[in-house]
Amino acid sequence: GNSVTQMEGPVTLSEEAFLTINCTYTATGYPSLFWYVQYPGEGLQLLLKATKADDKGSNKGFEATYRKETTSFHLEKGSVQVSDSAVYFCALSSNTGNQFYFGTGTSLTVIP
Amino acid sequence: ETGVTQTPRHLVMGMTNKKSLKCEQHLGHNAMYWYKQSAKKPLELMFVYNFKEQTENNSVPSRFSPECPNSSHLFLHLHTLQPEDSALYLCASSQEGTSGLRTQYFGPGTRLLVL
């Protein structure tokens, strides 16, 4: 079956620290992979995506590379800001059916 | 308006009330979704409509009743809810039928409190 596992939070970092949020997946077929971000009081916003192996998604300084060999899609940012404080969700979309599979979310707090 | 909009943004209702949540997408998509987000729980998919036809119903209680009159509008009708139904209800849309591009776009959500 399809599933996504992401690291437990919460994560607290100082401003300008390096961020990694781990995400691994299990899927049949060739899924697309996504990171969504949810700021307090808001819905989920697409942060970045990758549709095939070795693709790198990037946006707003965040990056994630689709690694088929390790079934991973870890989110990274070189220097976090206070405004990056949010909950981050890893997700996959199977190439069959139209269901998304979300991880449980990782809460990030960046302190000045 | 652009993207996915939801109204109301906040709703307080008693257990005997009947209310409806509305979602509208301005993206030309052909699939729409209702999710429930409760504190400290994973996102739960409730309903999926693809080309206005319901294709998934993940064992949601009958006190939640979806309606999709056209590909741009989605409603969630609520009646005799329970306090444990208090949550953030998120609507999303996507364009199905395009290989590998099932990106879902979310609305801001309706924060529901059942007293």
pLDDT tens, B61-72? 999 999 999 989
A88, A98, A99, best to mutate vs chain B, most B CBs in 10 Å: A98
Instruction: Render pLDDT for A66-111 as a digit per residue (tens, 0 to 9).
Output: 999 999 999 999 999 999 999 999 999 877 666 788 999 999 999 9
Which DSSP letter does residue B85 get? G
Q: How far is CA A33 from the centre of its chain?
A: 8
For residues A19 and A60, what is the distance between their CA atoms, to the nearest angstrom?
A: 13
A89 touches B: beta carbon within 8 Å:
yes
Residues whose CB is less than 8 angstroms from the CB of residue B98 and which lie 6 or more positions away in sequence, other chains included = none
CB contact under 8 A, A36 and B109: no
CB contact under 8 A, A98 and B90: no
In sign, the C-alpha dihedral spanning B13, B43, A1, A92 is positive
Taking contacts as CB-CB distances below 8 angstroms, the residues of chain A near B41 are: 104
A29 touches B: beta carbon within 8 Å:
no
Q: Work out whether strand A11-14 and strand A106-111 pair parallel, antiparallel, or are unpaired.
A: parallel
In the predicted structure, residue B1 carries a pLDDT above the cut 60: no
Taking contacts as CB-CB distances below 8 angstroms, the residues of chain A near B4 are: 43
Q: How far is CA B35 from the centre of its chain?
A: 5
Closest chain B residue to A35 measured between Cα atoms? B103
Instruction: Give me the percent of chain B exceeding a pLDDT of 70.
Output: 95
Question: What's residue B41's pLDDT?
Answer: 82
Number of other residues whose CB lies within 10 A of the CB of residue A81 = 13
Q: What's the mean per-residue pLDDT of chain B? A: 89
CB contact under 8 A, A98 and B50: yes
CB contact under 8 A, A49 and B56: no
Question: What's residue B56's pLDDT?
Answer: 74
